[in-house]
């Protein structure tokens, strides 16, 4: 599969088979994430992979309850990943001057490497931003200054699931040439 095949095949998967994900496939996904570029090469991410069923169930129960119940679908994924930020002082200082948190852009870059590699392996993924972070952190025994920025669900897609097909803005709306154009 070339890049566009993979990009087009990727879907945010919200129904998974019960099948566990092979550890070696998880490692391949992490390897893709590992090689990502980042501001000052700080690699400001740590991936906590949760594939132990008991822990995963506990994590899901804590993370996806109350106002976060809409993310409960992810409890059925055989693997959850918590992406913890670990920003370095130099890009943090630069980001403070520029008023852009570079480590979040970096986590997007690295996490999408993982997502695209997973897609090539016929695994489904879903980025999850909506979860109870303090409770998720406690379930994973992460000390307080650390922060889970985002989570990812991973597993074999349920082939019977219908996809939410999300429309994208047309090219002329999401881009312009040689100066700003309103769209």
In the region spanning residues 95 to 114, those forming contacts with its own copies, defined by CB under 8 A, are 95, 98-102, 104-113
- Which helix (H) or strand (E) covers residue 81, if one does? strand 79-85
- Asked whether position 62 contacts its own copies by CB under 8 A, the answer is no
Closest distance to its own copies from the beta carbon of 118 (Å) = 9
**What is the 8-class DSSP label of residue 21?**
P
Closest distance to its own copies from the beta carbon of 72 (Å) = 16
Closest-CA residue to 76 (of 137, 138, 7, 16): 16
Per CB under 8 A, contacts with its own copies among 163-182 are 166-169, 171, 174-180
Closest-CA residue to 8 (of 118, 108, 119, 117): 119
Q: Which of 74, 116, 123, 154 binds its own copies (CB under 8 A)?
A: 116
- Asked whether position 143 contacts its own copies by CB under 8 A, the answer is yes
**Beta carbons of 74 and 62 less than 8 angstroms apart:** no
**For the purposes of burial, counting CB atoms within 10 Å of the CB of 91, is it exposed (0-12), middle (13-18) or buried (19 or more)?**
buried
- Asked whether position 10 contacts its own copies by CB under 8 A, the answer is yes
Q: Which of 21, 150, 152, 153 binds its own copies (CB under 8 A)?
A: 150
Distances (CA, A) of 163 to 11, 16, 64: 7, 12, 21
With contacts defined by CB under 8 A, how many residues of the chain interact with its own copies?
Answer: 81
- Asked whether position 94 contacts its own copies by CB under 8 A, the answer is yes
- Asked whether position 49 contacts its own copies by CB under 8 A, the answer is yes
Q: Which residues pair with 83 in a beta bridge?
A: 47, 150
Per CB under 8 A, contacts with its own copies among 28-47 are 28, 30-37, 39, 41, 43, 45-47
Choices 14-22, 126-134, 152-160 (CB under 8 A): range interacting with its own copies: 126-134
- Asked whether position 117 contacts its own copies by CB under 8 A, the answer is yes
Residue 171 tokens read as: 């090219």
């Amino acid at each position: 599969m070339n890049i566009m095949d993979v990009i087009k095949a990727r879907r945010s998967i919200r129904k998974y088979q019960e099948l566990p994900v092979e550890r070696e496939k998880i490692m391949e996904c992490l390897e893709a994430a590992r090689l990502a570029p980042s501001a000052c090469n700080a690699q400001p991410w740590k991936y906590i992979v949760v594939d132990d069923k008991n822990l995963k169930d506990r994590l899901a129960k804590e993370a996806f309850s109350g106002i976060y119940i809409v993310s409960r679908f992810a409890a059925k994924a055989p693997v959850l990943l918590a992406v913890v930020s670990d920003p370095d002082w130099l890009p943090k200082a630069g980001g403070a001057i520029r008023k852009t948190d570079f480590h979040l852009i970096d986590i997007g870059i690295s996490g999408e490497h993982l997502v695209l590699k997973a897609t090539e392996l016929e695994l489904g993924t879903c980025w999850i931003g909506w979860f109870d972070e303090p409770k998720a952190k406690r379930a994973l025994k992460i000390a307080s200054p650390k922060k889970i920025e985002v989570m990812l669900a991973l597993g074999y897609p349920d082939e019977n699931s219908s996809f939410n097909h999300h429309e994208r803005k047309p090219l002329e709306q999401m881009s312009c040439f040689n100066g700003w154009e309103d769209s």
